[in-house]
């Protein structure tokens, strides 16, 4: 997602800026989930593991990436 923002920054700002702020927050939440697990940070508490489940991040991020690629 970060690479797509850098490569197509004007398209990203044009299309992604028009959507609701809730969608923007959800996408950045997905990026935070994948960043936390990509850096090797291990979460020990069960509640936080459920909140930051990597599968949820992938389910959110993959459709957004495909939307940005096919713009």
- What is the pTM (predicted TM-score) of this model? 0.60
Between CA 25 and CA 29 the distance in angstroms is 6
The pLDDT assigned to 40 comes to 81
The pLDDT assigned to 7 comes to 74
Between CA 58 and CA 61 the distance in angstroms is 5
Angle of the 21-38 helix axis to the 54-69 helix axis, nearest 10: 120
Instruction: Output 6 or 25, whichever has higher pLDDT.
Output: 25
Domain count, the chain: 1
Structural domain of 41: 2-69
- The H or E element that residue 29 is part of is helix 21-38
Q: Which two tokens stand for residue 12?
A: 């990203």
- pLDDT 10s digits, 13-68: 666 666 666 667 777 888 888 888 878 888 888 888 888 888 888 888 888 777 76
């Amino acid at each position: 997602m970060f690479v797509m923002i850098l490569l197509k920054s004007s398209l990203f700002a044009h299309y992604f800026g028009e959507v609701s702020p809730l969608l923007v927050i959800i996408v950045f939440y997905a990026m935070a989930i994948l960043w936390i697990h990509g850096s090797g940070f291990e979460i020990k508490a069960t509640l936080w593991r459920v909140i930051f489940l990597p599968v949820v991040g992938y389910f959110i991020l993959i459709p957004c990436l495909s939307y940005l690629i096919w713009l």
